Amino acid sequence: MVAVRRDPARARVSKPKRGPSPRLPAGPDGFAQLVAFCRDAYLEVDRAGVVTQWNPRAEQVLGWRRHEVIGREITETALPECIGPSPFVRARKGALDTEVAELGWRGVRSGEGVRRKVELLHKQGHRIVADGLLFTVGSGASGGIAGFLYDGRGSASPGGPLSHADLHDRLTGLPNRVLFESRLARAVATAGSIPGAVAVVLLDLDRFQAINNSVGHETGDRVLAAVAGRLRRAAGDAELFARFGGDEFLALFRSGDGPVGDVASAFIERARLALAEPFEVAGSEVFLDASVGVALNTFGVDDPSTLLSNAEAAMYRAKQRGGSRVETFGESMRIEVVDRMTTEHSLHRALERSELMLHYQPVVELGELTTVGMEALVRWQHPSQGLVPPCRFIPVAEESGLIIPIGAWVLEEACHQLRDWQREGRTGPRGMVEVNISARQIDDPHIVRTVEGILSRTGLPPRHLTLEITETALMADAASALLVLRALKDIGVLLAIDDFGTGYSSLSYLQRFPLDILKVDSNFVEDLGAGAGGEGEEIVSAVINLAHALGLKVVAEGVETEQQLDALRSLGCDFAQGFLFSRPLPAADLIAAFGLQVSA
Ligand code: C2E
Ligand code: MG
Ligand code: MG
């Protein structure tokens, strides 16, 4: 048995080339929270011009959502070349704006920085001119430029007054986000410290993307216009009803003499009834529903942007809980938001400080019980919390966009590891490494190039890499996922559908995607082997037969007992993974424990 020698610098995450890297002046967690709740837009780009910070207010002012900009060059979104030279672009060109750089940290600490007019592009296409306070963050190769933008409400022509067209949505004729925000600011200012005098209701249509995908954007737009009409009627007594963007609508309620929660609830009821009436879409009837978030000016909230972000947080909670429901922002959600912010911020540092590491779990072939591959599973060695499992940070990484650099690191590290094992003669000619890819990575326009780059850098032949994508991620936007999967397949990697049985389990989709492997979720495996012919056995048997009919190999996840193993063998399952064989372990421990031989 040969001990594996790993390059310690590579055994943990190294700083990603294009990844987020906040370098904050003092009390980083406090700063991250400050930025999150700050009423000014805050953004940061690194030396490569890649956006690394984008607070909720920046989302509102510039229309771009965090997940749309983080990890991408700013020139691809809010600052296209046509806008002209800017400190943010100069950062991209590798030469930090000297005037900004000279001030550096001194500028931040003294609250000075450099004041400049900054021009950026709103997602809806109009220019935003704002006063910016700019300063450098970090230094040398890890330096970048940060800016607070004041007064960035935006104007269609620099400095000019806002026209009707600037304040209304073209498709629905409803007031837009800019008008809503200004009305909200006025309502909050008038309400003063009367808690519960202002309510914001945010409605986001459920599964609207699916309609757009199936009938096209033009028809989708017609449905949105019809939805807007119905909701506006339902919002009769609102102070303002607006389109927030996409399939999101906002209602503002205020009352001079008491809480407005009841009025808002009555509106939501009417709105949901209005949506429940069928819509005619391409000759058939479609029923819609919405996820609704409500926020009141309680909890000492006295600024419009926090109220709006609270309504968004509540709406996301409604979505997370399956949609078609209403959530109101409350204390527990507030704590959760702060927790998430803290996790997100520490996660940035995790990347910088090489706190991420991989564990590997053997995948076993059921005929000879030989190891044929290893699934790479990421872990976070948190300085104070110990080993943090992925379920505690992957969702935050996905939401913040950090999953792009994290995912790239995981891929590179896992490919290096297998290449090392191959060189040491530990793997047979078909030994595999399996890497999980999240939905957000599939959406990343650079994913194919990233995978190609990693394969060529590590020298791992593509047929030794399997990318695992969960069923839910595939179905979220099936049309574009299909294109990406085909492109990945063209590189020569294998594709697996992960956690099969936990999502839509759409069997017809299985046929459409260029998949090689199906991983049956552990929930089904759990029911196996208790007694012959149980319901669990029937389901697993049906899934295995279907997968085989489609030419897919089947991996059973979460195998813990001999009985489950026997049942799976008798059902003709090809491979298995689970604690029965081994828990996920660091590469060196796997070798120490088993002398690791990946033999296929
Ligand atoms: P997954 O891809 O389905 O991974 C299998 C999970 O089941 C792992 O949890 C593994 O430790 C656990 N497991 C394996 N055998 C058994 C067993 O016999 N019994 C039980 N009860 N559990 C078993 P883990 O490592 O906590 O990962 C959870 C999920 O986090 C993964 O599910 C995957 O979806 C995600 N994940 C992990 N690493 C990454 C990553 O690098 N990138 C992305 N995007 N997601 C990751
Ligand atoms: Mg997996
Ligand atoms: Mg799984």
Tell me if 382 sits within 8 A of 355, measured CB to CB: yes
Q: Which residues are CB-contacts of 391 (< 8 A; sequence separation ≥ 6)?
A: none
Tens-place pLDDT, residues 500-552? 987 766 667 788 899 999 999 999 999 887 765 667 788 899 999 999 999 99
* The predicted structure's pLDDT at residue 155: 36
Rounded CA separation 316/24 (Å): 28
Q: From the CA of 64, how far away is ligand 1's center (Å)?
A: 32
Question: Distances in Å between the alpha carbon of 49 and those of 70, 142, 316?
Answer: 11, 11, 29
What is the model's pLDDT at position 83? 62
551: left (phi over 0), alpha (psi -120 to 50) or beta: left
What are the respective helix, strand and coil percentages of the chain, to the nearest 5?
A: 45, 20, 35
User: How far, in Å, from the CA of 453 to the mean position of ligand 3?
Assistant: 26
Nearest ligand 1 atom, CA 410: 41
CATH 3.30.450.20 domain range(s) in the chain: 37-158
Name the closest-CA residue to atom 30, ligand 1: 390
Residues of the chain with CATH 3.30.70.270: 164-338
Ligand 1 nearest atom to the CA of residue 579, by list position: 18
pLDDT digits (tens, 9 = 90+) for 320-334: 888 999 999 988 888
Mutate to test the pocket of ligand 1, among 411, 412, 436, 580 (most ligand atoms within 8 A of CB): 436
Predicted confidence at residue 104, as pLDDT, reads 47
Pocket test for ligand 1, best of 360, 377, 417, 469 (most atoms within 8 A of CB): 377
Query: Which residue has the CA at smallest separation from atom 13 of ligand 1?
Result: 558
Instruction: Compute, in angstroms, the gap from residue 498 CA to the centroid of ligand 3.
Output: 5
Q: Which atom of ligand 1 is nearest to the CA of 519?
A: 3
CA 471 / ligand 1 centre spacing (Å): 14
Query: Residue 436 C-alpha to ligand 2 middle, in angstroms?
Result: 5
pLDDT beneath 70, residues of the chain: 1-39, 81-115, 125, 136-143, 151-162, 256-259, 299, 504-507, 531-534, 594-600
Protein residue closest via CA to atom 42 of ligand 1? 436
- Residue identifier of the C-alpha nearest atom 34 of ligand 1: 436
Could you give the CA distance from residue 464 to residue 473 in angstroms, rounded to a whole number? Answer: 23
Tell me which residue has its CA closest to atom 12 in ligand 1: 558
Ion ligand 2, residue ranges at CB < 5 A: 436, 468, 498
The pLDDT, as a whole number, for residue 579 is 97
User: If you measure from the C-alpha of residue 435 to the centroid of ligand 2, how many angstroms do you get, rounded to a whole number?
Assistant: 7
pTM for the full model? 0.65
Domain range 164-338, CATH class: alpha beta
How far away, in angstroms, is 68 Cα from ligand 1 center?
Answer: 27
Residue nearest to atom 8 of ligand 1 (CA): 377
Nearest ligand, CA 411: 1
CA 32 to ligand 1 centroid distance, Å: 29
> Which atom of ligand 1 lies nearest, measured to the CA of 468?
2
351-594: what CATH class?
Answer: alpha beta
Closest ligand, as measured to the CA of 520: 3
Q: Assess contact for 41 and 61: CB atoms under 8 A.
A: yes
Rounded distance between C-alpha atoms, residue 55 and residue 333, angstroms: 18
Distance 434 CA to ligand 2 centre (A): 7
How confident is the model at residue 16, as a pLDDT?
Answer: 32
Question: What is the Å distance from ligand 2's center to 467 Cα?
Answer: 9
Which residue has the least CA distance to atom 25 on ligand 1? 377
The set of protein residues with a Cβ atom below 6 angstroms from ligand 1 is 361, 377-378, 389-391, 394, 407, 410, 436-438, 468, 498-499, 522, 557-560, 577-579, 584
Residue 351's pLDDT is 84
The residues of the chain that CATH labels 3.20.20.450 are 351-594
Residues flanking ion ligand 3, Cβ below 5 Å? 498-499, 557
470-508 per-residue burial string, b: 16 or more CB within 10 A, e: under 16: bbebbbbbbeebeebbeebbeeebbbbbbbbbebeeeee
Topology classification of domain 37-158? Beta-Lactamase (3.30.450)
Which pLDDT value is given to residue 420?
93
Mean residue pLDDT of the chain comes to 81
Q: How far apart are CA 452 and CA 462, in angstroms?
A: 9
CA of 477 relative to ligand 2 center, distance in Å? 20
